Amino acid sequence: MSEDAVKQMKQAVAKAAADRVQSGMIVGLGTGSTTAFVIQFLGDRLRKGELSHISGVPTSFQASVLAKKYGIPLVTLDDVEKLDIAIDGADEVDPAKNLIKGGGAAHTREKIVDSLADQFLVVVDSSKLVPKLGATFPVPVEVLPFAVAPVTHALKALGGQPELRMGVKKDGPVVTDQGNLVLDVKFEDIPNPAELEKTINNIPGVVENGLFVNVADVILIGEIVDGQPRVREMG
Ligand SMILES: O=C[C@H](O)[C@H](O)[C@H](O)COP(=O)(O)O
């Protein structure tokens, strides 16, 4: 699939998601290349007067910067108890609507914000659909720097192959918005994602992992059909 085709799929699904937001809503703003388009489209709708009085809860520094750029007023979790909708991307989606997230190291805040929404809407291009979680993507695990060694041992004991995520255009490891590190853990098989999500989070020193089980309400998929971008909802 060409880069241009992937961009078209992301834009199509992002527009469909932004069109579902209504005036007055409190909206969780996800992180990543797909949700960057969502934030841009929400800004466009505000500017055109199609939408008014929305507030965004950003899931990362990136989302916050983009929301400010596109004129979306922001609130924090100190200001609101719940959200009307959260729109977020994913790295993998299985047929049961379970996800792997955290390719941008933002999964900790994303899980908090996404789980507080009345509706958690996931936006992906068709390349993210997998028959089973873990097929193409490792599970990102945010870890306190102090605990990287013991958490690495514990993840190996669970059958995973953890690798410290390294920076691009920055020497040394990726540091999350919370000041922690990320271990990307490849598992040969994830027979029970719900159980693995809980087991990993139970390791002392783990802040949060990127398995999102039973949290997504709606999955919108951008795809190319007969050369044209199209959006469908996972049944
Ligand atoms: O940490 C990042 C997030 O979980 C993203 O939502 C996820 O990595 C998908 O990003 P993208 O839309 O860029 O593929």
Q: For 139-209, CATH number?
A: 3.30.70.260
Residue 198 marked ligand-binding: no
Catalytic positions, please? 110
Same fold yes or no, 3-130+214-233 and 139-209: no
Residue 128 marked ligand-binding: yes
ipTM above 0.95, yes or no: yes
pLDDT 10s digits, 119-138: 999 999 999 999 999 989 99
Q: Ligand 1 centroid to 135 CA: how many Å?
A: 16
pLDDT 10s digits, 103-114: 999 999 999 999
pTM over 0.80: yes
The ranges assigned to domains in the chain are 3-130+214-233, 139-209
pLDDT at residue 185 tops 80: yes
Contacts 24+ apart (CB under 8 A), 64-70: 64/29, 66/29, 66/36, 66/39, 66/40, 67/29, 67/39, 67/43, 69/43, 70/39, 70/40, 70/42, 70/43, 70/44, 70/46
Q: For 3-130+214-233, CATH number?
A: 3.40.50.1360
**What mean pLDDT value characterizes the chain?**
97
pLDDT at 1: 82
pLDDT at residue 82 tops 80: yes
> What average pLDDT does range 41-54 have in this prediction?
98
- Determine if ligand 1 sits within 6 Å of the CB of residue 88: yes
Task: Let me know: does 183 contact 162? Beta carbons within 8 Å.
Answer: yes
Q: Helix or strand or coil: residue 2? A: coil
